[in-house]
Amino acid sequence: MKLFRGSSGPETIPSQGSQKLTRRSSGLGELSRSWDSAENLCILDLGSTSPTNIRHFTGNGHRIYSEDLLTASTDPELATKDELGNPTLDTRKFLAENLVYPAAHFDVVLCWNLPDYLAEDLVKPVVGRLWSVLKPGGMLLAFFHTRDAGPDSPCHRYHIVGSDTLEMQKIVLRREAPRSKGSAQHTLVDGFKLQRVFNNRHIENLFRDFASIKFFLARDNIREVLVVR
């Protein structure tokens, strides 16, 4: 009997021995200014589990929800075919099992680089769900690569280490290879691939249901976007 969905599935691990880089984040700085004066905020972190982020928010008296949507999107049980027989993902199943929260629940959603690496079929439905779970006036922070970043830009995990400072940790996706006769089980290491590069118009369209949008362009070819519901 299988107790856990996907218990034999892939897991996201921080890259062992990789150098952690720091970067200054204007979007995070603006968010920090708003939540420094607030109490008991409800925050949703959509990156892989970050002890640093959990410590940061709980230490300041806030509640934090952690949900790794990128890893969840790799669940093999989501694979299906559309009416033309082309491979696609079961969006309905994904949203039935992930981002299940009451409406208008969160003050802040930290998307990080999720839209850049999430499968195409899931991007708009996920943003739509995030709109509904954000409180009116709630804010969402997302990072988008610019075209200059290149197609092989690694997927990073972001840890909050200051009011406007992030530590970046490269993420790898580890999955167990099936054991073949006479050989040991081995581990396949893969990474999340950059799925697309949004331009400003694409980003504005993606967040068109939000009340306002602000762009911050950084030198490391990352475009930070802060939207308000």
Nearer to another protein, 55 or 186 (CB): 55
- Nearest distance in Å: CB 151, another protein: 28
Q: What residues from 68 to 107 belong to the interface with another protein (CB under 8 A)? A: 68
Q: Which C-beta is closer to another protein: that of 67 or that of 204?
A: 67
Binding mask 30-69 for another protein (x = CB under 8 A): ------------------xx-x--xx--x--x-xxxxxx-
Q: Is 11 in the site for another protein (CB under 8 A)?
A: yes
Q: For residue 130, what are the CA distances in angstroms to 31, 66, 71, 135, 159? A: 17, 14, 17, 10, 21
Q: Rounded to an integer, what distance in angstroms lies between the CA atom of residue 208 and that of residue 196?
A: 19
Query: What six digits make up the tokens of 24?
Result: 């200054």
> What letters, b where the CB count within 10 A reaches 16 and e where it falls short, cover 77-111?
ebeeeeeeeeebbbbeebeeebbebeeeebbbbbb
H-helix segments, the chain: 26-35, 51-59, 69-72, 91-97, 114-117, 120-133, 200-206
Nearest approach in angstroms of CB 218 to another protein is 26
**Where does this chain touch another protein (CB under 8 A) — which range of 5-13, 107-115, 147-155, 197-205?**
5-13
Residues that bind another protein (CB under 8 A): 3-4, 7, 11-14, 48-49, 51, 54-55, 58, 61, 63-68
